[in-house]
Structure 1
Amino acid sequence: MNQVDKSMKITLILTTIICLLPILMGVFYYKELPNQLAIHFNDAGKADNYMNKPLVIFGLPIFLAVLNLFTQFRLVTDPQKANYPKVLLNLFRWLVPVISVGCMTYIIFFALGKDFHIGNIGSIVLGILLIFIGNYLPKCHFNYTMGIKLPWTLNNEDNWNKTHRLAGFIYVVGGVIILLSVFWPTVYITLGVIATIVFIPMMYSFVLYRRGI
């Protein structure tokens, strides 16, 4: 086994273990937790959807561990994986484990009465993530797993490069807007930014395709 394969195997094992770690927290607090745990929160940070305790404590981390295995498999089997920016590769390798720990910690603490506003936390994390990804999208060269995978970007490498340069700028601007929305909390700003960062690169890529790029 070469050094790269060994590193990938270690990362796979570590990320999967981290995805499952919240089960230990859930077991530790199991008797103190109510039978129904909140799993979704509205714009005001109030719980509006619940799930049975065993499904949350055991089911969600297991589901995220399986999702992590699928993500790792996609990343290492892409024929164009040499084109990944190293920073984005590491981000996507560790994204699911961080989501597992972060979401499960919040769900358990919320159920224990340690409440804090999930909306602001979500906006800050999403804004920083968009700015971070936006800075590296232009460096994400043609591949089949990471980036903006549209019929037109996958059909032409120039289309891919131009679309990702524009998308990088839009992601950064969108991230800044979402960060600022913490001072004027409303779900419509986040939804508007998400719609924009999806729609504009898609239409731009299509226009390039119609122009023969």
Structure 2
Amino acid sequence: MKKHVIIGSAICLATVLILGLFWGKLPMDVPIHFDSAGNVDSTLPKPIVVFGIPVICALINGVASFSLLHKQEKRKFMFYLIPVIAVVLAVAVIVLAI
């Protein structure tokens, strides 16, 4: 089961590659939140988005995975929920920012 923790965290960190491929196309201030009219009302600097979000997702994945290990969770897909969210988040950032 510990291999699932490592694989999941690696997937989270691999989103740096996804975001890094679009480094040149991302604006210096990446929009991260929009109001109900679709206007940007919150941004983060590009380096924080490209490097910070994957690291935060990996940390959350580590905490969640070790909690699952402690509970002796048998459903393997549970170890990959945060990594899937990390990939979806990276793609959403790219689509909304470009």
User: Under TM normalisation by the shorter chain, which class is it?
Assistant: 0.7 to 0.9
Shift of 1:21: 1.6
Shift of 1:16: 0.7
Q: Structure 1 residue 75 and structure 2 residue 68: aligned? A: yes
1:1-213 → structure 2 map (5 Å cutoff): 8-78=1-71, 81=72, 86=74, 89-112=75-98
Secondary structure at 2:90's aligned position in 1? Answer: helix
Structure in which a larger fraction of residues adopt helix: 1
Amino acid at match of 2:79: R
CA distance in 2, matches of 1:42, 1:99: 22
CA distance in 2, matches of 1:99, 1:41: 19
Shift of 1:26: 1.7
Gaps of 5+ in 1: 1-7, 113-213
CA distance in 2, matches of 1:110, 1:65: 22
Shift of 1:44: 4.6
Shift of 1:92: 2.8
Secondary structure at 1:32's aligned position in 2? Answer: coil
- Report the number of matched residues: 98
Bigger relative contact order, structure 1 or 2, given CA contacts below 8 A and separation 6+? 2
Secondary structure at 2:31's aligned position in 1? Answer: strand
Gaps of 5+ in 2: none
Q: Which has the larger radius of gyration?
A: 1
Q: Deviations over 1:29-80 (max 9, x none)?
A: 11221101111233454432110100000001101001101111111113xx
Shift of 1:91: 4.1
The sequence identity of aligned pairs, in percent, is: 34
CA distance in 2, matches of 1:76, 1:54: 33
Secondary structure at 2:4's aligned position in 1? Answer: helix
